[in-house]
Amino acid sequence: MDDKIQQLIRKFIAVPGYYFGINSIVQKILRFMHGSKLIVVNYHSITDVYQDHDLFTISRFIFEKQITYLKERYNIISFSDALKRMRYPKDDKDFLVITFDDGYKDNFINAVPILLKHKVNACFFITTELIGHFPDGATRGIKKYPGMNREDLKAMCNMGFEIGAHTLSHPNLLQIPLNRAQNEISESMKQLEQILQQEVTYFAYPGGKRSIHYNNAIKEMVAAAGYELCCTTNRGRNSLRSFDMLEINRITVQNWWSPFYFAREIEGIFDFKILDKRR
Ligand SMILES: [Zn+2]
């Protein structure tokens, strides 16, 4: 579609579209033209205490609302199902995979019960140095939160959730020597496989933005390590007909999003430029 026409649609139809179901009609037309999309949603920390919030910590209440919303509108599937469905890219609804990055304990305590309640699958990308980690008060960055332990990870595996690697220590892979980057990528796979006693073939780049956190050299390293699927945080949906398995776009949920904003980010067809100034 022409850029100007798209902009006009965004400006004049997005809000009534949300309330009167025009969005879903437009989605159907786009799906007919381009085939089904694979939408990958990315969460980090899910909490029930409203304190020490960063941009990527979502309350349990909002998280459940979002899961309910997504379940009504999308086929929520696992990555292994998504890979199978690539061969049959047409469906009534777009496909959606839910992911969690880093491996926080609150995922196990707060998110997993909600996912089980709504019978929704998800993939968890684990930073292995966070496994069993309990913050000592002095630690910053991702280590300021407790991590899941080995038993949590094994239990999640048994519940049918998918586990992927997210390096050993969550570095920016572009800012460390290549041999260290290689170690971060391959050792995290080995450690998780040893804990879970099963193959780990999914990976998420820490930070996740192309040219800032990874590049082609890192991508090749990840492929050479034996990963078959890698997630970025590059914003966007993926066409089931032609997505790059080693560079999957995701929608990273932030805690200031209203229900309307959440809906438009997931649908991705009415991108208001004016709201994008905030990111
Ligand atoms: Zn991360």
CA–CA distance, 111 with 38 (Å, rounded to integer):
22
Question: Ligand 1 center to residue 18 CA distance, Å?
Answer: 31
Window from 150-154, 155-159, 187-191, 268-272 with minimum mean pLDDT: 268-272
Residue 18 belongs to a domain: no
What is the per-residue pLDDT for 173?
98
Tokens 């696992």 label which residue? Answer: 78
What is the per-residue pLDDT for 141?
81
Residue 126 belongs to a domain: yes
Residue 213 has pLDDT above 80, yes or no: yes
Structural domain count, the chain: 1
Strand partners, 204: 231
Residue 154 belongs to a domain: yes
The two beta strands, 37-43 and 238-239, are antiparallel
What is the per-residue pLDDT for 168?
98
Residue 223 belongs to a domain: yes
Residue 29 belongs to a domain: no
Question: Ligand 1 center to residue 30 CA distance, Å?
Answer: 32
Q: How far is CA 39 from CA 28, 77, 98, 242, in A?
A: 15, 10, 9, 13
Residue 257 belongs to a domain: yes
Residue 128 has pLDDT above 70, yes or no: yes
What is the per-residue pLDDT for 91?
63
Residues having C-beta closer than 5 Å to ion ligand 1? 101-102, 206
Question: Ligand 1 center to residue 96 CA distance, Å?
Answer: 20
Strand partners, 40: 97
What is the per-residue pLDDT for 222?
98
Q: What is the CATH number of the domain that holds 140?
A: 3.20.20.370
What is the per-residue pLDDT for 132?
94
| Residue-number span of the structural domain to which 175 is assigned | 35-271
Question: Ligand 1 center to residue 242 CA distance, Å?
Answer: 26
Q: Are 34 and 22 in contact (CB under 8 A)?
A: no
Residue 13 belongs to a domain: no
Q: Which segments within 53-194 are labelled E, that is strand?
A: 57-59, 75-76, 95-102, 123-126, 162-165
Residue 15 belongs to a domain: no
Q: Are 130 and 103 in contact (CB under 8 A)?
A: yes
List, for residues 48-62, the tens digit of each pLDDT value.
Answer: 876 656 889 999 999
